[in-house]
Amino acid sequence: MDKLISLGDNIARLWAAYAPQYLNGVRNTLVLAVAATVIGFLIGLLCGILNTIPYTGRDPMPKRVLLKLIRGLVRIYVEVFRGTPMVLQAVFIYYGIPYFLGYNPFKGNAGIWLCSLIVVSINTGAYMAEAVRGGIISIDPGQTEGAKAIGMNHVQTMTCVVLPQAIRNIIPQIGNNFIINIKDTSVMFIIGFVEFFATHRNIVGNNLLYFPSATIEMLGYLCMTLLASFLLRHLEKRMDGADNYDLVASDALTTTAGTYTHPKTPEDLLERNLETKGGRPHV
């Protein structure tokens, strides 16, 4: 009990002294996670679409070669960034690009922000590419055939029929990547990005209260991820729409909508017919 009281006192002291720094770290973490998730989704959407463009043996040779080359490049990108740790990707990009270019495009705080955004975005895009591809191929092929039967080309079919359904199906995966990004931005401290975890490291370096500060970090990350999960579930429910799509009983199209119920008695049938015609049964 004494240790718990002492832990609580140390946490209160840290929060009273460093609350602005902690909150600034939370802000940087959320801004980076949101921006990288949006950009990563767009990258994944582009890669997923390019990866699912159909072609057959009857198509011209240049088209087939080009599509195979694009799919090969997308596959290399996905495998490289899914198969290596984000912390090493950050080191490689932050130090490797200046090495090959001969100058440093990531100077100052703005450069660190730019590099962090690039790293997290392309890492997210690699995971989203497979999610989008899976979402597209999960749509019933009959819908694509139906769209083509009414004269839609491939672009129209993708934008008006396939993608709206595919994006709805992968909303949970987008949310999962956003939650992962909230936590994985912590590795950006390796290149000097001051997010929530880097703030914790800086504060611990000043007072050596590692465990109390780590407790604040754990609670902070938990609050962010729980809030993100709640908002994403709410978004999913909003996108699902209403549970009941039955038309109102007074609508003349109710019968054709499949919501007609058979009357139990002849009197019920007479009353329903009169109500449909705007009259009332005689007593």
- Residue 213 or residue 277, greater confidence: 213
Q: Is the pLDDT reported for residue 270 higher than 80?
A: no
Q: How far apart are CA 58 and CA 47, in angstroms?
A: 24
Q: Which residues have C-beta within 8 Å of that of residue 184, sequence separation ≥ 6?
A: 86, 120, 123
Summarize pLDDT for 166-218 with one digit per residue, the tens. 888 888 888 899 999 999 898 998 998 988 988 888 888 888 788 888 899 99
* pLDDT at residue 281 greater than cutoff 60: no
- Burial-class residue 254 by CB neighbours within 10 Å (0-12, 13-18, 19+): middle
How many angstroms separate the CA atoms of 104 and 108, rounded? 10
Q: Which residue has the tokens 């994944």?
A: 44
pLDDT for residue 247: 47
pLDDT at 242: 59
Q: Residues 6 or more apart from 267 whose CB is under 8 A from it? A: 281
Cβ atoms 199, 19 nearer than 8 A: no
CA 132/CA 51 separation, integer angstroms: 10
Mean pLDDT in residue range 263-274 = 57
pLDDT band at 122 (very low <50, low <70, confident <90, very high): very high
Dihedral of the alpha carbons of 114, 120, 121, 125, in degrees to the nearest 10: 160
Question: What local confidence, expressed as pLDDT, does residue 273 receive?
Answer: 59
pLDDT at 62 over 60: yes
**pLDDT for position 41:** 93
With cut-offs at 50, 70 and 90, classify the pLDDT of residue 37. very high
* Averaged pLDDT, 148-175: 85
| pLDDT > 60? residue 33 | yes
**Residue whose C-alpha is closest to residue 118's, from 92, 141, 144:** 92
pLDDT at 137 exceeding the cut of 90: no
Averaged pLDDT, 94-109:
88
Give residue-wise pLDDT tens across range 227-267: 999 988 888 777 766 555 554 455 555 455 455 455 555 56
Please determine, for residue 133, whether its predicted confidence score (pLDDT) is greater than 90: no
Please give the pLDDT value at position 283: 45
Q: What are the φ/ψ torsions at residue 10 (nearest 5 degrees)?
A: -65, -40
pLDDT over 90 at 221, yes or no:
yes
